[in-house]
Amino acid sequence: MFSVVLDEICVLLDSYKGRDKILRTLCYSTKLIGGASSNKLLTEKMLKFSKIMSATRTTLRLLDDFPMLKYNLEYGFGKEEPDKLMAALGVTTNIIDQLYYPVEKVGWLAENNLISGVDTNKWDTISSIFWVASIYLTLMRSLHFVAVLQKHKRCVTLKNDENTSLEQLLSRQHYEILTCVRLSLDFVHAVNTLPKGFLWSSKLNTWQVGLIATMSSVLGIYQIYAKKKL
């Protein structure tokens, strides 16, 4: 049993996506503990650890431009999508995601005093806008996909081995519903990073951000394993 668990953990850590999910979970779970704790020393240590994990994830993202570009070129205009709306949402999201990385790099360089004459707050705000837009469009795409799967489910007739097709559709629909829940949590978190005055931006306190992002991260880890069964 232990060896099986160890193998699964190692498989998760061997992938970039899995490692990022682990780092994200550590980042926000410690933010949650630090924000909720009444012990000043514990709060300082947890928030410091959370900041280090966040900086680690940012540093790792500096290399994401080319993998993102490769994915976008392979995705193209979304010919494999079930309809034009999903393709349009997918292409738009991909463009936003591709632009996000250089914007984040400028902010990172300025924050670490590697370039001068740059307003870090301005570039951080632009990064947040791209993040919010990307999550919102991805959420809309996932919600639409759930509706598409629902229509397909109605078309499946329960005859002979077609039960397998229905089971596959149900599994995929449940997976996409979880994706919608995770993206909704991420959207709440992302909007909070925007400057004051937009919806609930800057209104969530530390432990609330930690709780929302931790739940999203745990769901993300679960979905990595759930996707293997689809």
Distances (CA, A) of 99 to 65, 104, 126, 219, 222: 9, 9, 10, 26, 29
Per DSSP, 194 falls in state: S
Nearest-angstrom CA–CA distance, 229 and 120: 43
Contact 23, 53 (CB under 8 A): yes
Nearest-angstrom CA–CA distance, 81 and 83: 6
Helix or strand (DSSP H, E) at 57: helix 40-61
> Amino acid identity of 181?
V
Mean predicted confidence (pLDDT) in 149-159: 70
pLDDT, tens only, 155-172: 764 444 556 678 888 899
pLDDT, tens only, 186-222: 999 999 999 999 999 999 999 999 999 999 999 999 9
- Min mean pLDDT across 23-27, 52-56, 149-153, 174-178 is at 149-153
State pTM to two decimals. 0.92
